[in-house]
Amino acid sequence: QFGLFGGLGPILAMNTADTTKDWSRWRHAEYTPAIYSKLGLEFKIRQPRAGIYLFRIGYDFTDFGTEIDKQSIYQGVFLQVGMEFPRYK
């Protein structure tokens, strides 16, 4: 099988104090909300009695509007691989 997938939803970035190297840096975390989006192609390979192999390749994008870890836009290509185990009777 072949298809398209997409997603759009909220994401929350936590930017900690990078100058502190222990757990106390989480006390001064800044939280920045943004919208996360992804789009791509999905391939399913069905195997009789073995399950379904799932491959997704796509592109994701987020713009935080403020600099987090030296950049404000996060984007890239990704590959997801998984399996589904349907119940056969």
Q: Judge contact between 7 and 23, C-beta under 8 A.
A: no
pLDDT greater at residue 4 or residue 73: 4
Q: Kindly report the pTM of this predicted structure.
A: 0.65
Report the candidate in 36, 43, 35, 38 with the shortest Cα–Cα distance to residue 6: 38
pLDDT greater at residue 81 or residue 51: 81
Could you state, in order of their start, the residue ranges of all structural domains in the chain? 1-10+34-89
**How far is 1 from 26, CA to CA, in rounded Å?**
45
**How far is 21 from 48, CA to CA, in rounded Å?**
52
**How far is 3 from 72, CA to CA, in rounded Å?**
31
| pLDDT tens track for 15-47 | 776 676 777 777 777 888 899 999 999 999 988
Looking at this protein, which amino acid is placed at residue 47? Q
- Sign of torsion over alpha carbons 14, 19, 22, 26: negative
